[in-house]
Structure 1
Amino acid sequence: MSHLGRDPARHQGAVNIPLHRTSTIIFDSVSEIDAAKKARFDKGQVFYGRFGTPDVFAFEAAISELEGGYGTVAVPSGLAACVLPMVAFLKPGDHLLVTDAVYEPARTSISAFIARSGVEVTFYDPRIGDGIEALFRPNTKMVYLETPGSLTFELQDLPAICAVARAHGALTVCDNTWATAIFHRPLALGADIVVQAATKYIVGHSDAMLGLVTCEEAHYRALREAANWLGYRVSPDDVFLAARGLRTLAVRLRQHFETGLVLATWLETLPQVRRVIHPALPSHPDHAIWKRDFTGASGLFAVILDTDSMEKATAFIEDLELFGLGFSWGGFESLVLHGDPAHARTATEWTEEGILVRLHAGLENVGDLRADLARAILRVA
């Protein structure tokens, strides 16, 4: 991975690919510019800055190899990546199946934008497995999965769902942000398209926004064309930061995994914690799927505090010193965020007692993080 997308021989020995901050590309002849225009959606074709530059193409090629796909389209944010396949492949009158545990901004985009475009949307229980077949209609064209869910961490039976979708001629799109291709390979398990927020673990330093859509060859051109319709263009500076993060992704993610699992295992023993929701824990209801389909986990998980008092939960959150209170995750820093899954469900109900708090285990010393949590959790008693 440290060498994917790199070719120092082409850049006078430079270890990193130089940035190309440009809009206009100069051609030598009319025939050359006409040929470039005709091939502007082809992989690696330089035509105009919005369509991509050599540094962007090199990074996309690295991601494609890592995910095991034909090609990747880089877009301005993770949410843009979630929406792009729907724009590319769905039309008015089509039917879309979406996991009920979907990333909430994606749910909002689907309900407020995709559905408004005449697409019928049905949310489904993320643990439905091959029972999803009962929800298929003659006009079902896509299934959108996220495994695990980014707040409640249900794992989906990806191979079973993809097999049903394929039998019905529907595309499957899987959000792989939580595990990345280091620990999970949705394309190898049957998915057609993989999306992820590179903003999170790939960038890894909380200093750039970027989304990625990776697919097999049959779907590549349609995604490229849709990105152009939407005017998507990625900053070469953000791509440079993401390419930098990619070089250390495997090392960082292993540390996130190790630290997160140590903290999750310890938190399960505390009287102030009703339940820890971490797929790598044997107590997780979908642990068997995690062992089958994943080779590791990230640092993101949730705890259910044994209290119904938001005042006590707030005191716990605000008393933490090493866990910053903020959105996103995947950077070097630990984060905390409270959540209420109940308001973002339609196919399932969230009835669990207690208050959900999501934690992201960063790269700080695990002993320091544990001490921080141990001190603050006393506010829940």
Structure 2
Amino acid sequence: MKKDTKIVRAGRSAKWTNGVVNPPVVRASTVLFDSVSEMQHAAANRANQVPFYGRRGTPTTFAFADAMSELEGAKGCYVYPCGTAAITSAMLSFVKAGDHVLVVDTVYEPTRDFCDKTLSRMGVSVTYYDPMIGSGIEALMRDNTSVIFLESPGSLTMEVQDVPGICHSARQKNSDVVIVLDNTWASPIHFQPFTYGVDVSVQAATKYVAGHSDCMLGTATANARCWPTLRENSYLLGQCASPDDSYLALRGLRTIGVRLKQHQRSSLTVARWLAERPEVEAVLHPALESCPGHEFFKRDFLGGNGLFSFILKPSSPRALTAMLDSMVHFKMGFSWGGFESLILANRNVASQRTVTHWPYQGPLVRLHIGLEDVDDLIADLQAGLARYNEQQ
């Protein structure tokens, strides 16, 4: 099937839909059995999506997991209450005390906090690496390196990693190392991680998968080698997700293809407009040549989305505040991936990395370009930049 057909059909097996279009919401804690043999069969089939206990999942959860597995080309998918839970559970599934992990220096801030505050307390050492390291990752690997964590593009600063180069080089050094990728930016639609050597792909399904800023959900899909370990350890950690949120994600998933096309089209229009503004020092959009790793984006990705950043020339905090305070269509918020446009500023990017040099002095502004008319969005940014200039 072609991609757009898969989006419509994935997770809609007759065993989940029971003859209707959408898998229904099945809420349950207790699952009832009429015989000892029936209960024993359910208990023994944890791997086969047989209802046993609500924490293991209901048909709604199973349908959503099937959809994500199919779209990413995975052996299986575990569903979590948020993206951070997916990240932490995926890493905990493959590390033990005394291990060493490699984590990209541009990683999502909560992931870094988990590594520095939780993994370190467990006796797991962490080395951060330059997102542009590529095949040079081999030089940082140790005999006890168990996990390499990638995020591409990088959180906030949008560096695109050479995922196949890292995977190939790492496996030359140690074929057993587990490579985990945060694939939230691309979603299951625009980057196929298992094609390029990734073992576990993590998503904040809160973002583009659900697409409407009204549920919290995470997923981790895995290849055949890593799926049993991921599934078992996530279950032992007590991870489970609401069937209502799984239903919302299934519903949002059906339109992700058309939504991403509009997000991508509008974001490129805005990014190119910003690149011509005198207040802007740099635009960090993976689809533009000015973005580090753009060549890997062109080679490996099937498309983009609405999330990118730009750097303003050095200014006073007062000027930045004046710009942000009266935006009409761009509201401030920490998530993204919904239908609405968002804006978020960060003046301390350099403090959030430990290996790579941040070359800019001005503030970073991250935009999520929603589904509003792009001319209205540009007018909003133009008015914001006018306020910015007035306060310089």
Correspondence for 2:36: 30
Correspondence for 1:18: 24
Amino acid at match of 2:83: G
Correspondence for 1:93: 98
Amino acid at match of 1:376: G
> Aligned with 2:278: secondary structure?
coil
| Maintained 8 Å contact 2:16/2:59 | no
Amino acid at match of 1:162: C
**1 CA distance for matches of 2:238 and 2:281?**
46
**2 CA distance for matches of 1:328 and 1:18?**
27
Residues 26 and 366 of structure 1: is their aligned pair in 2 closer, same or farther, counting only changes over 3 Å? Answer: same
Correspondence for 1:349: 357
> Aligned with 1:346: secondary structure?
coil
Deviates more, 1:114-123 or 1:160-169: 160-169
Q: Deviation of residue 314 (structure 1)?
A: 1.4
> Aligned with 1:69: secondary structure?
coil
| Maintained 8 Å contact 1:307/1:313 | no
Q: Deviation of residue 319 (structure 1)?
A: 2.3
Matched, 1:153 2:158: yes
Q: TM-score, length-normalised on structure 1?
A: 0.97
Matched, 1:361 2:366: no
CA offsets 1:152-207 (integer angstroms, 9 cap, x no match): 00111100111122221211000110011211111111111100100000010000
| Maintained 8 Å contact 2:340/2:371 | yes
Alignment match of 2:188 (pick from 181, 196, 221): 181
> Aligned with 2:254: secondary structure?
helix
**1 CA distance for matches of 2:343 and 2:102?**
30
Q: TM-score, length-normalised on structure 2?
A: 0.95
**2 CA distance for matches of 1:147 and 1:43?**
32
> Aligned with 2:375: secondary structure?
helix
Correspondence for 2:12: 6
CA offsets 1:115-156 (integer angstroms, 9 cap, x no match): 211111100011111111110110011100000012000111
Matched, 1:265 2:272: yes
**2 CA distance for matches of 1:236 and 1:163?**
38
Amino acid at match of 2:364: L
Residues 122 and 174 of structure 1: is their aligned pair in 2 closer, same or farther, counting only changes over 3 Å? Answer: same
Alignment match of 1:309 (pick from 300, 316, 321): 316
Matched, 1:251 2:273: no
**2 CA distance for matches of 1:277 and 1:226?**
37
Alignment match of 1:63 (pick from 68, 71, 86): 68
> Aligned with 2:120: secondary structure?
helix
Residues 26 and 259 of structure 1: is their aligned pair in 2 closer, same or farther, counting only changes over 3 Å? Answer: same
> Aligned with 1:2: secondary structure?
helix
CA offsets 1:264-286 (integer angstroms, 9 cap, x no match): 01100000111111010122232
Large movers: runs of 4+ above 6 Å? none
**1 CA distance for matches of 2:275 and 2:54?**
51
Alignment match of 1:283 (pick from 268, 280, 290): 290
Identity %: 50
Residues 303 and 107 of structure 1: is their aligned pair in 2 closer, same or farther, counting only changes over 3 Å? Answer: same
> Aligned with 2:121: secondary structure?
helix
**2 CA distance for matches of 1:165 and 1:191?**
11
Matched, 1:54 2:54: no
Amino acid at match of 2:251: R
Q: Deviation of residue 9 (structure 1)?
A: 7.9
CA offsets 1:227-258 (integer angstroms, 9 cap, x no match): 12221110000000000000000010111111
The aligned length equals 380
Q: Deviation of residue 224 (structure 1)?
A: 1.5
> Aligned with 1:20: secondary structure?
coil
Deviates more, 1:133-142 or 1:213-222: 213-222
**2 CA distance for matches of 1:9 and 1:166?**
39
Residues 11 and 72 of structure 1: is their aligned pair in 2 closer, same or farther, counting only changes over 3 Å? Answer: closer
Correspondence for 2:49: 44
Alignment match of 1:117 (pick from 122, 126, 134): 122
Correspondence for 1:83: 88
| Maintained 8 Å contact 2:162/2:293 | no
